[in-house]
Structure 1
Amino acid sequence: MARWQPDAPGRLAAAALDLFEEHGYESTTVIEIAERAGLTKSTFFRYFPDKREVLFDKGTVTGLLVEGIASAPPTAEPLDAMADALDALGRTFFTADRREFSGRRQAVLNANTELREREALKRIDLTASMIEALNRRGVPALTARVAAQLGALVWEIAYDQWIDTDNREGFGPLARDALAEVRAAGALR
């Protein structure tokens, strides 16, 4: 693979995923990832601080969710703003062409404690960003915290369903269905 080809971060992530599946996360080196992608070690470090980060989106999901919350109609209730943000995420990031990669990525994460810890930290940061975005909309702090936590739960449910190889429904509709289930569960007494 020629070094001049575009999308070096994507190529590095694909190479890392292949190697993590073939040899395991612990046994794969940054040099092997860079070589598999047809790049150099210094190019790897231009995009990622270490091999843990190569499978994470560098804030893309967080940015899309925050933007989606901010662009929801001014009259939208907090959970409706979350739903709008999750719909936007499904249209722009969790698209059909990313489903296979995402499922494979999740399997690698599930097989490695260090990567699961990193994923958990990323989700905490994601939730904190959603709280801040809701606060900027004028949502009271406690309400924003609950809505963001529920939004994160909805995201997780929808994502797990979306990467399921037997499922072909889009992320946005899955998120809407999960939100309806969460709302129904909240009505239980």
Structure 2
Amino acid sequence: MSRWEPNARGRLEQAAMELYGERGYEQTTVTEIARRAGLTERTFFRHYADKREVLFGGSVLLQDLLVKTLAEAPASAAPIDAVAGALHAAAAVFDARREQSRQRQKVVSANAELRERELVKLASLAAALGEALRARGVPEPSASLAGEAGVAVFKVAFERWIGGADDRAMGAYIQESLDELKSVTAAGEA
């Protein structure tokens, strides 16, 4: 094998997803993933700490995108509107990976350990959004509430998007979920 491995990370991700789909997450080994990708185990471990991280490796990039976009929102934006802008930026990235997102979610949903890890990821995203809002001067509990609400909107929109039979962009589902949240919270107002 050559020392240079073009797109090793992408090849490992593809190999892992294929094997998880064929054999199941629990039955798939790192050795098999590396072999399927045409790489060594050592190369696998340069990119991922374990086979679980193949499914969650993009979490840091997602969090960075959400926080960066939120920080760049106009100072006059209401907290939930700043969060909405960040969610729409993330949705644009997901649109290019719809089938991969469906495959990933199928694997995660079939395994209790992975579902738990997914909840940890979502909690981390909510905390990061709350922190970014506090950095913008949004006081508590508004910052935490907006961060948690944003993650709830993301989760509901994501599930509808991957389960949807139409070709609508994830941003459409984000907007529908945001509108529904605003409707629910406004329903009690007189």
Q: Classify 1:165/1:100 alpha carbon distance in 2 versus 1 (closer, same or farther; 3 Å).
A: farther
In structure 2, runs of 5+ residues without a counterpart are none
Q: How far off its partner does 1:3 sit?
A: 7.3
Q: How far off its partner does 1:164 sit?
A: 2.0
2:16 maps to which residue?
16
Distance 2:47 2:148 in 1: 30
Distance 2:22 2:68 in 1: 37
Is 1:85 paired with 2:86?
yes
Tell me how many residue pairs correspond in the alignment: 187
Instruction: Confirm or deny: 8 A CA contact 1:2 1:38 kept in the other structure.
Output: no
Distance 2:3 2:114 in 1: 28
1:119 maps to which residue?
118
Q: How far off its partner does 1:165 sit?
A: 4.7
Distance 1:84 1:55 in 2: 25
Q: Runs of 4 or more off by more than 6 Å in structure 1? A: none
TM-score of the aligned structures, taking structure 1 as reference length: 0.93
Q: How far off its partner does 1:167 sit?
A: 2.5
Distance 1:186 1:131 in 2: 19
Instruction: Confirm or deny: 8 A CA contact 1:65 1:85 kept in the other structure.
Output: yes
Distance 1:176 1:104 in 2: 24
CA RMSD of aligned residues (A): 1.6
Q: Which has the higher contact order (CA 8 A, sep 6+)?
A: 1
1:101 maps to which residue?
100
Instruction: Confirm or deny: 8 A CA contact 2:83 2:147 kept in the other structure.
Output: yes
Identical amino acids, percent of aligned pairs: 47
Instruction: Confirm or deny: 8 A CA contact 2:65 2:86 kept in the other structure.
Output: yes
Distance 1:100 1:129 in 2: 27
TM-score of the aligned structures, taking structure 2 as reference length: 0.93
Q: How does 1:58-73 map to 2 (within 5 A)?
A: 58-73=59-74
Q: How far off its partner does 1:58 sit?
A: 4.2
Instruction: Confirm or deny: 8 A CA contact 1:161 1:167 kept in the other structure.
Output: no
